[in-house]
Amino acid sequence: MKNIQVSAFRWVPPFAQGLVRDLRVRWAIEEAGRDYQAKLLGPDDQQSANYRQMQPFGQVPAIDEDGLVLFESGAIVMHLAEQSSALMPADPSDRARVKTWMFAALNTIEPPIMMLVVLDMTPGSDAPAVQVLRAGIVKRIESRLDNLIAYLGEREYLIAQRFTAADLLMTTVLRILRTTDLVEKRPVLDRYKVRCESRPAFKKALDAQLGTFEHNAPPPEMIKS
């Protein structure tokens, strides 16, 4: 089995911990039963010419799989899933459906959620005009979530009556809403997210990311809330 090196941040502020996108890749690797090494980065590393060769935008994650360098969490998860029956079913039609829902998670569900995150982190976000914009974004998110619920119905997972890479990505997207009640107040969606988060591979991946942040945390007086 090929060696995998995953780039990850050495530390991020508490609001981002458990959400940084290397979690998706760590989780996929754990589900596939493979090993990896984390390549920890600080701000200077992100700007280095060497890392920009791996990840042109200086973000995480990127992977180096015995010389095959890939970036973008969705692309990496798809690459790993195509090699693992734990993440991708064997049936060609189901595989195509899994890939469709992987793209839906990242291209349909995630964009308005990230718009909300950016808006809420922007200075002056409490201004009346911004709040009108925010309400519109929330309405769009709620529509997407309700569409997802309508599709899920009584299903426990998105495709093939089993956990796949589509559920992995969808769960990591839904987790971004943890500072809101948009998932929590939708029992079908909340149960779906909790079901996926209860997997041992997720817990192992999350513990690894959070453990790194805890180990490398700056002194408390240097951490801004």
Can the peptide bond before residue 187 be classed as cis, meaning omega within 30 degrees of 0? Answer: no
d(Cα 140, Cα 147) in Å, to the nearest integer?
11
Q: What pLDDT digit, counting tens, does each position of 78-119 carry?
A: 999 999 999 999 999 999 999 999 999 999 999 999 999 999
Alpha helices in the chain (DSSP H): 22-31, 43-47, 49-54, 73-81, 92-104, 110-121, 128-152, 165-174, 187-197, 200-215
Instruction: Give 125's pLDDT tier (boundaries 50, 70, 90).
Output: confident
CA distance 46 to 43: 5
Domain ranges of the chain: 4-85+202-218, 92-199
Q: What is the DSSP letter of 165?
A: H
Q: Which three-class secondary structure state does DSSP give residue 119?
A: helix
* pTM, rounded to two decimals: 0.96
Q: What is the pLDDT of residue 224?
A: 64
**Per-residue model confidence (pLDDT) at position 52:** 97
Helix, strand, or coil (residue 198): coil
Average pLDDT, the chain: 96
CATH match of 92-199 with 1.20.1050.10: yes
| C-alpha–C-alpha distance, residues 5 and 8, integer Å | 10
Could you tell me which CATH class the domain 4-85+202-218 is placed in? alpha beta
DSSP string, 73-112: HHHHHHHHHTT-TTTS-SSHHHHHHHHHHHHHIIIIIHHH
